[in-house]
Amino acid sequence: MTSLHFDSLVLFHDPALRLLYHRWRGQHNMHRFRPAVEFVQHLLHQHAIESWVIDLNGLPNLGLEDQIWLSDEVLPTLAPLTHLRQLALVLSPNVYNQLAAETLLHQGQHHLRFDIQFFSDSVAALDWLINPTGLPAMPVTSRMVA
């Protein structure tokens, strides 16, 4: 996985898996929220992302204006992303943002043509994305190595 840089996000991209992970790191300052979301939109298109992790941990409360913007302006841009297959949403303990995220996804469901799952931690989210069998990963032994 490679690290991408944007001042208000922790971003990781794995080109081989066509996976993008991001988490807010902008403290309690939301002035960079919209540019950060626009940067993520660009990455989704530029890298033909198939698997996407949105980690809501650290994100301050989403204001009503930002929620409307996400619903009206951002969610419709996801519909044409035919390469996007899975979204893992890591919910934070912030109940307000959990409800906001669920409401946004419900309102924009006609734009979302990919599988969405909710998780309480990023490890489980990544496991769902990279281990589609659902079986626990098996450790590599020396016998398995050619």
* pLDDT at residue 86 tops 50: yes
| Domains by residue range for the chain, with CATH | 9-130 (3.30.750)
Handedness of CA 25, 3, 34, 87 (dihedral sign): negative
What is the average per-residue pLDDT within 84-99?
A: 94
Spatial distance between the Cα atoms of 41 and 28, rounded to a whole number of angstroms: 22
Could you report the per-residue pLDDT of 25-74, keeping only the tens digit for each?
Answer: 866 667 788 999 999 999 999 999 999 999 999 898 999 999 999 999 99
* pLDDT at residue 105 tops 60: yes
Could you report the per-residue pLDDT of 125-144, keeping only the tens digit for each?
Answer: 999 998 866 555 555 554 54
How confident is residue 8, by pLDDT bands cut at 50, 70 and 90? confident
Taking the model in full, what pTM does it have? 0.84
CA gyration radius, the chain: 16
Block residue for tokens 């979302």:
112
Spatial distance between the Cα atoms of 62 and 59, rounded to a whole number of angstroms: 8
